[in-house]
């Protein structure tokens, strides 16, 4: 439907509209966005979607194949595990737990990391040098290894793994924010704001933070996929979520015992992790391309 224009003036779309227009042209990113929205929907309404309790055991339905198999049962769409627990319900709760926890951890890490990175980028002297060298050393260590080291100190468990992954993600946000802030502090509009008497907090929120959108989008999507992989890996190694918790990594670990008899017990959680990470990475790549093209226009 054409837009009604009473005053015959030219319409200029907003930056968000320009970004969405460019993002829609990337069909893979658009489909991945729908997939991410689906995972968010499952995260919020998971208990209403699951047909059974994820811990409920059905003794009469042990290792039932998925419904599309000749020996499957329609009452258990994705089959059951060795204890008769419905795999569809466990995967729904597993996606809810893995995706929800990862999202919360990334938000917390972003808030802390951006704040510390802004302070490091605006500071000078010995304090800034020490922080920079320390961050460079930590960035050389994989986040999963940092999380395993922290868990080895504080102990296993889901809560401890959450703390470990959050602490492992914070240095990445600090490093990226520090570099961006240092670059932007040399710009003319920042120098003009300093000459007007603006403080560091005002300069950051009004002059630097609006220009960090592309970096934050890339870093958040990267951190979210890393958090999902790390939580699943720690659960698989029995260092994070413990059985019978319906976490995707723990589901993979439990399914190994019956992998040859019931391969769907590892195929379904693995497919959920793969689809989750692929969709998040494609959405991040699409947003980065859309923001970059919008800024170049």
Entry pTM: 0.86
Q: Closest by alpha carbon to 81, among 252, 249, 234, 270? A: 252
Looking at the DSSP bridge assignments, the partners of residue 80 are 86
Counted domains in the chain:
1
DSSP structure string for 217-250: HHHHHHHHHHHHHHHHHHHHTTSSSPTTS--HHH
Whether residue 3 lies inside any domain: the answer is: no
Classify residue 132: in a domain, yes or no.
yes
Burial class (CB in 10 A: 0-12, 13-18, 19+), 281: middle
Asked whether residue 11 is assigned to any structural domain, the reply reads no
* d(C-alpha 297, C-alpha 288), whole Å: 14
**46 assigned to some structural domain:** yes
User: Residue 33: which CATH number?
Assistant: 1.10.3720.10
| Measured distance CA(236)–CA(4) in Å, rounded | 57
Which residue, 101, 117, 261, 135, is CA-closest to 185?
A: 117
pLDDT in single tens digits along all 297 residues of the chain: 455 555 555 656 666 777 788 888 888 999 999 999 999 999 999 889 999 999 888 888 888 888 888 888 888 889 888 888 999 999 999 999 999 999 999 999 999 988 888 888 887 766 666 767 777 677 777 888 888 888 888 888 888 888 888 888 888 888 888 888 888 888 888 888 888 877 878 888 888 888 887 788 888 888 999 999 999 999 898 888 887 888 899 899 888 888 888 888 898 999 999 999 999 999 988 888 887 776 555
Token couple for 254: 């439990």
pLDDT of the residue at 275:
93
Do residues 138 and 170 lie in contact, with contact meaning Cβ atoms separated by under 8 Å?
no
Q: What is the pLDDT of residue 128?
A: 67
Query: How many Cβ atoms sit within 10 Å of the Cβ of residue 225?
Result: 19
Residue 228 is predicted with a pLDDT of 93
Domain assignment present for residue 187? The answer is: yes
Instruction: Give a yes or no: residue 177 inside a domain.
Output: yes
> CB pairs under 8 A, 24+ apart, for 134-137?
135/171, 135/174, 135/175, 135/178, 136/175
d(CA 128, CA 126): 5
Nearest Cα neighbor of 235 from 133, 102, 123 is 102
The verdict on residue 6 lying in a domain is no
The string over 136-149, giving b where at least 16 C-beta atoms fall within 10 Å of a residue's C-beta and e elsewhere, is: eebeeeebbebbbe
- Residue 173 buriedness (CB in 10 A; 0-12 / 13-18 / 19+): buried
pLDDT of residue 74: 86
Q: Is residue 10 part of a domain?
A: no
Q: Residue 207: what pLDDT?
A: 82
Q: Are 284 and 213 in contact (CB under 8 A)?
A: no
Convert 32-60 to b/e letters by CB count within 10 Å (16 or more is b): bbebbeebeebbeebeeebebebeebbee
Domain that holds residue 189: 16-296
pLDDT, tens digit, for every residue of 37-80? 999 999 999 889 999 999 888 888 888 888 888 888 888 889 88
């Amino acid at each position: 439907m054409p837009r009604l224009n009473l005053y015959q003036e030219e319409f200029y779309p907003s930056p968000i509209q320009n970004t969405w227009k460019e993002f829609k042209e990337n069909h893979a990113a658009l489909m991945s966005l729908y997939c991410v929205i689906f995972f968010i929907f499952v995260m919020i309404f998971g208990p209403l979607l699951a047909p059974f309790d994820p811990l409920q055991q059905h003794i009469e339905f042990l290792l039932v194949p998925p419904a599309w198999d000749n020996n499957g049962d329609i009452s258990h769409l994705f089959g059951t595990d060795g204890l008769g627990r419905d795999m569809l319900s466990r995967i729904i709760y597993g996606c809810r737990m893995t995706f929800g926890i990862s999202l919360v951890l990334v938000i917390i890490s972003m808030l802390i990391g951006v704040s510390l990175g802004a302070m490091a980028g605006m500071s000078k002297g010995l304090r800034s040098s020490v922080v920079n060298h320390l961050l460079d050393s930590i960035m050389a260590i994989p986040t999963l290894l940092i999380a395993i080291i922290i868990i080895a100190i504080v102990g296993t468990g889901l809560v401890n793994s959450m703390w470990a992954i959050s602490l492992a993600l914070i240095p990445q946000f600090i490093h990226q924010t520090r570099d961006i802030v240092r670059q932007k502090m040399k710009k003319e509009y920042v120098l003009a704001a300093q000459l007007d008497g603006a403080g560091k907090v005002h300069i950051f929120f009004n002059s630097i933070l609006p220009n960090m959108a592309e970096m934050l989008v890339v870093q958040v999507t990267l951190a979210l996929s890393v958090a999902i992989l790390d939580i699943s890996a720690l659960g698989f190694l029995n260092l994070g979520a413990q059985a019978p918790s319906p976490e995707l990594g723990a589901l993979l670990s439990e399914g190994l015992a019956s992998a040859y008899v019931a391969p769907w017990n590892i195929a379904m959680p693995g497919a959920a992790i793969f689809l989750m990470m692929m969709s998040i990475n494609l959405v991040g790549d699409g947003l980065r391309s859309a923001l970059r093209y919008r800024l170049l226009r």
